[in-house]
C-alpha cells in the first residue's frame, strides 16, 4: 500500500475499534495472542507470545495499536506468554475446522462464498448427526475473507493429540475409505456408506453419458484392463449401474474406477472440504471473532448454527458505510458488496467507503491522489 492508502485503511480500522470490541474467548488467561500490524514494506511479521488476563486489557491493547489482523491460540497453555512453545506448557486445545473457498472453487467472489458456506453446513451436519457432537459445543465464525472456522469446544476433545484429530478430519474429508467396507452387502446405507455408493452411481452415470469413443478411452487408461474387458463392461453398463453395490466390488473395471483420481475427487466432493493441517495442529492461532481482517476490511463474525443459513458475508460482515471515496483501480474489477454488484474499470473512480476499504485491503486499489 502507498502511505495515503495505508493511512486511510488504518483510520477506518481505528474508527471501528473505537466502537466495537474484539470478543475474548473462554479461558482468556490461557490463550496466546498474535497480532500483525499495518506496514508499508513487504515484511509483515506477527507479534505473538502475548497474553491477557482480563478482557479489558485486550480491548485497550487493540484500540491503542489498531492491528491489521488479530489471532488467538486454539490451545490452552499454563504460561501462554512464554517466548518458546515448550515453555508455554500445552494444556489442551479446541478442535478446529477451517474451510477456505480458495481450496474449494475459483470464480466470482460471491459464488466462492456461497460454495464454502455449503461446505460449512455439510460439515456441521456431519459433526452432529454422524460423529455425535452436541450443537451446544459448536461455534462458527466467518473468517472475514473467504471462509468459515468451526470451533468444537467439547472438553472431551481438548486433550486429543494430532493423531486423534487426524482421524476426525479423515472422516470428514473421506480420506482412506475402504471400498470393501463402504460397499459391504447388507450394510446400512448411512453416513459414508450412503455417500460412497451415491458417488459411485454418479460416476457410472457420468461414464454412461460419454460418447462410446470417450468412454472407451477412459477405460483404456486403467492398468490391467484390456480392450475386450473394457468393451464388455461398457456393453453391460446399464445393468452394472442397477447392480447391488456389494456385487460391484467383484467387477475388475469398477475396482479400477474406485482407485482412480477422478473417483477420489468425487469422494472429496461428497465429504466436507476442510483444511486438514488446521485440524491436526494442536497449537494453531486463529482469527479472533469481532476483529477485522486486514486482507478484506470485513469483520470476523461469530455465528450460531441457526444463523448460518441466512448469513450473507457480503452484507453482514461489512462494517463500513457508503460515503464516496475516490480510488485508483489497478485493474478491472467485478465484485459484490452491500447487496450490489460493481463492475469497475481500471483507473480513477468514486466508490462507497466499504468497497474502497475492501479494494485497498485486497491490494487492487489505492486512494486516489495519494503519494
* SS3 assignment for the chain: CCHHHHHHHHHHHHHHHHHCCCCCCCCHHHCCEEEECCCCCCCCCEEEEECCCCHHHHHHHHHHHCCCEEEEECEEECCCCCCCHHHHCEEEECEEEEEEHHHCCCCCHHHHHHHHHHHHHHHHHHHHHCCCCCHHHEEEEECCCCEEEEEECCHHHCCCCHHHHHHHHHHHHCCCCCHHHHCCCCCCCCHHHHHHHHHHHHHHHHHHCCCHHHHHHHHHCCCCCCHHHHHHHHHCHHHHHCCCHHHHCCCHHHHHHHCCHHHHHHHHHHCCCCCHHHHHCCCCEEECCCCECCCCCCECEEECHHHHCCCCHHHHCCCCCCCEEEEEECCCEEEEECCEEEEECCEEEEEEHHHHHHHHHCCCEEECCCC
Active site residue 304: no
Q: Of 98, 269, 316, 328, which is the active-site residue?
A: 98
Domain membership of residue 107 as a residue range: 21-173+274-311
pLDDT of amino acid 106: 87
pLDDT along the chain (371 residues), means of 10: 93 96 95 91 80 96 96 97 95 97 89 95 96 95 96 95 97 94 86 93 94 93 88 91 83 92 93 95 97 97 94 96 94 91 94 96 89 55
Q: Using the 3D structure, point to which of 210, 242, 270 is the last residue of a domain.
A: 270
Residues 127 and 247 in one domain: no
Q: Using the 3D structure, point to which of 242, 270, 298 is the last residue of a domain.
A: 270
Residues 221 and 280 in one domain: no
Residues 196 and 299 in one domain: no
pLDDT of amino acid 1: 84
Active site residue 275: yes
Q: Of 154, 178, 202, 275, which is the active-site residue?
A: 275
pLDDT of amino acid 42: 58
Q: Using the 3D structure, point to which of 238, 253, 270 is the last residue of a domain.
A: 270
Residue 168: CATH number of its domain = 3.90.920.10
Residues 63 and 144 in one domain: yes
Active site residue 129: no
pLDDT of amino acid 273: 93
Q: Of 100, 170, 238, 328, which is the active-site residue?
A: 100
Amino acid at each position: 500500500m502507498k502511505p495515503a492508502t495505508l493511512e486511510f485503511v488504518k483510520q477506518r480500522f481505528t474508527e471501528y475499534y473505537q466502537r466495537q470490541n474484539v470478543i475474548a474467548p473462554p479461558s482468556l488467561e490461557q490463550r496466546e495472542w498474535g497480532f500483525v500490524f499495518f506496514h508499508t514494506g513487504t515484511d509483515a511479521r506477527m507479534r505473538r507470545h502475548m497474553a491477557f488476563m482480563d478482557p479489558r486489557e485486550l480491548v485497550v491493547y487493540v484500540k491503542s495499536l489498531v492491528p491489521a489482523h488479530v489471532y488467538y491460540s486454539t490451545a490452552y497453555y499454563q504460561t501462554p506468554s512464554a517466548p518458546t512453545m515448550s515453555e508455554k506448557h500445552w494444556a489442551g486445545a479446541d478442535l478446529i475446522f477451517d474451510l477456505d473457498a480458495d481450496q474449494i472453487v475459483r470464480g466470482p467472489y460471491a459464488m466462492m462464498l456461497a460454495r464454502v458456506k455449503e461446505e460449512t453446513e455439510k460439515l456441521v451436519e456431519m459433526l452432529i448427526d454422524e460423529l455425535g457432537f452436541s450443537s451446544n459445543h459448536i461455534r462458527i465464525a466467518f473468517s472475514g475473507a473467504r471462509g468459515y472456522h468451526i470451533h468444537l469446544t467439547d472438553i472431551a476433545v481438548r486433550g486429543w493429540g494430532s493423531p486423534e484429530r487426524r482421524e476426525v478430519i479423515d472422516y470428514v474429508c473421506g480420506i482412506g475409505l475402504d471400498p470393501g467396507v463402504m460397499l459391504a452387502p447388507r450394510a446400512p446405507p448411512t453416513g459414508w456408506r450412503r455417500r460412497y455408493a451415491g458417488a459411485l452411481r454418479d460416476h457410472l452415470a457420468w461414464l454412461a453419458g460419454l460418447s462410446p469413443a470417450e468412454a472407451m478411452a477412459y477405460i483404456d487408461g486403467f492398468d490391467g484392463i484390456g480392450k475386450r474387458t473394457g468393451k464388455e463392461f461398457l456393453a453391460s453398463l446399464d445393468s452394472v449401474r442397477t447392480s447391488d453395490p456389494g456385487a460391484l466390488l467383484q467387477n475388475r473395471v469398477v475396482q479400477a474406477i474406485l482407485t482412480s483420481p477422478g473417483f477420489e475427487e468425487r469422494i472429496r466432493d461428497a465429504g466436507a472440504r476442510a483444511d486438514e493441517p488446521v485440524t491436526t495442529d494442536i497449537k494453531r492461532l486463529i482469527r479472533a471473532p469481532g476483529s477485522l481482517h486486514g486482507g478484506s476490511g470485513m469483520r470476523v463474525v461469530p455465528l450460531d448454527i441457526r444463523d448460518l443459513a441466512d448469513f450473507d458475508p457480503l452484507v453482514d460482515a461489512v462494517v463500513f458505510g457508503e460515503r464516496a471515496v475516490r480510488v485508483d483501480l489497478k485493474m478491472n474489477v467485478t465484485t459484490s458488496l452491500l447487496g450490489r454488484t460493481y463492475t469497475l474499470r481500471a483507473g480513477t473512480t468514486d466508490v462507497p467507503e466499504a468497497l474502497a476499504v475492501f479494494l485497498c485491503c485486497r491490494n487492487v486499489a489505492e486512494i486516489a491522489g495519494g503519494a
